[in-house]
Amino acid sequence: MKIIGRDAELKILKQILTSNIPEFLAIYGRRRVGKTFLIRSFFEVEKAIFFNATGSKDGTLSEQIRHFTQEIGRVFYHNVELKEEKNWDLTFEKLTAAFNTVPKNKKIVLFLDEFPWMATQNSRLLQTLEYYWNQHWSRDKRIKLIICGSSASWIIEKIVNNKGGLHNRLTRSIYLEPFNLRDSKRFLNFIGVKFNNDQILQIYMVTGGIPYYLSKIEKGLSATQNIENLAFQPKSFLAQEFDNLFSSLYEDYESYVDIIRLIATRRYGIGQEEILQKLGKNMQGKLGLKRLKDLQDSNFIISFMPQFHKRRGIYYKLIDEYTLFYLDWIEPINTTLLTKGHMKGYWEKQYNSAAWNSWSGYAFESVCYKHLPQISQALNMSPTSVPNTWRYTPKKGSAEQGAQIDLLFDRDDDCITMCEIKYTEKPYAIDKHEAASLNQKIAIFKEKTRTKKQIFLAIISANGIKKSIYSEEMIDGVAVLDDLFK
């Protein structure tokens, strides 16, 4: 399959392959995002020796070494069966010796995939890698070492931010993100699915642009029909993916899921202090903070400090579309789904229900947060404009009104552009009631922040905005769905 998008990543891989120095790359990103596909697709067609060993989840030390040794025999000795060693030190010695079989002018790519799975407890794999890179491999300009893993937090902690023998040894790193809307469209077109932008958005709000999920989309079916098949049929893929996803990324994955569930209950974010309090004594302090960082490293959640309220500390918000979709729609009926499925046409029947409108609004916000450069460009923001969010929650028992600003750009020209994000089937219409609500938000924002800056109001609407006397008077900028595909 052709590599879609990934232009910046391909540039890095080409630089690695053509350089005349040893290279050490870490590539990480969540499960199913296409890390292995990218590396294999690029290097397997190049004129280089490509050694690819993959860790086995829950595999024993002897199993990991056996698979590794088999790959040495296959790549360097024309499929000769080699004796496996008892530890990684002797195994890496065997690999290093195998380099002597390669001509001096030929590059050697060592791709160690799912490395966190390979590094079993007490295996000393990481320490052995440190020694062989520092003592042998970093002296051989042919060597291009690539460490890969779906556990982004493990790769960041153990490789990228290594405090031991691999400190500052990386020459490059790649964090592979899900496709944006534009590349999702390109990918779907490549596999023969010719959707318009609205259909692609519906798919994106369920899959989050994960290439493997997108590969499951069938041509000839609508977005609604595809979602029905993937999520609401017996043993359907998206119904079973949730536990597989988190269990493959984290030990004690149930504790991570508990945090995800808690954050998901607060559409506009929940404070770090409140999260730690509700997790219980076992998860408070450094352990709870590490769990939050791990989830953020894998792009399930984002942290932010609400503009003008930084003293209130860090807030977290769920931004992974698939996780949000699963918790809102699949989990409540999962037992039924996994045994006998649901009624035919279930997803179509939910369309435009109150629950569907609530979910789609939340999901569209997540999509917008992942397309801030496109929104910024559509609204003619300066590159130095700072995107953020803001909310005011009155104290309990207070008669005051609260307010939530979905997105704002704090500009360097003494202005603030406040953005209202709306996902509606038809162009967003501002009537008298809606106009009053928007004006009240602006008034509360000005009062509570005491800002002297000029306030502009913009609308980010999937299907545009309906012209009216209120829209003409109040709205200073509009970003539509097509802008997010640019």
CATH of the domain at 468: 3.40.1350.10
> Of 175, 206, 238, which residue sits at a domain end?
175
Confirm whether 2 is domain-assigned: no
Residues 26 and 136 in one domain: yes
- Cα(427)–Cα(375) distance, integer angstroms: 18
| Confidence (pLDDT) at 339 | 58
Residues 393 and 361 in one domain: no
- Cα(31)–Cα(17) distance, integer angstroms: 25
Backbone phi, psi, residue 360, to 5°: -65, -35
Residues 142 and 196 in one domain: no
- Cα(138)–Cα(305) distance, integer angstroms: 42
Q: What mean pLDDT is predicted for residues 351-360?
A: 91
Report DSSP state, residue 34.
S
Residues 221 and 309 in one domain: yes
Residues 362 and 384 in one domain: no
Residues 137 and 169 in one domain: yes
| Confidence (pLDDT) at 130 | 96
Confirm whether 390 is domain-assigned: yes
Residues 85 and 144 in one domain: yes
| Confidence (pLDDT) at 310 | 59
Mean pLDDT for the chain? 93
Residues 132 and 39 in one domain: yes
> Of 366, 398, 414, which residue sits at a domain end?
366
> Of 366, 385, 419, which residue sits at a domain end?
366
Query: At 34, is the pLDDT very low, low, confident or very high (cuts 50, 70, 90)?
Result: very high
Question: Which two structure tokens, joined as six digits, stand for 266?
Answer: 């607060």
Q: What mean pLDDT is predicted for residues 57-65?
A: 95
Using an 8 Å Cβ cutoff, are 223 and 195 in contact?
Answer: yes
| Confidence (pLDDT) at 235 | 83
pLDDT 10s digits, 375-419: 999 999 999 998 998 888 888 888 888 899 989 999 999 999 999
Backbone phi, psi, residue 279, to 5°: -80, -20
Q: Is the pLDDT of residue 341 over 60?
A: no
Q: What is the CATH number of the domain that holds 96?
A: 3.40.50.300
pTM of the model: 0.92
Residues 76 and 215 in one domain: no
Residues 134 and 278 in one domain: no
Residue 307's domain spans which residues?
A: 182-366
More confident: 201 or 310: 201
Determine what percent of the chain is predicted with pLDDT higher than 70. Answer: 97
pLDDT 10s digits, 87-139: 999 999 999 999 999 999 999 999 999 999 999 999 999 999 999 999 999 99
Strand order in the sheet with 270-271: 270-271, 315-318, 301-304
The total number of structural domains in the chain stands at 3
| Confidence (pLDDT) at 340 | 56
pLDDT 10s digits, 139-149: 999 999 999 99
Residues 235 and 214 in one domain: yes
Residues 157 and 226 in one domain: no
Rg value, the chain, Cα:
25
- Cα(231)–Cα(442) distance, integer angstroms: 40
Torsion of CA 295, 297, 299, 304, to 10 degrees: 90
Residues across the chain: 486
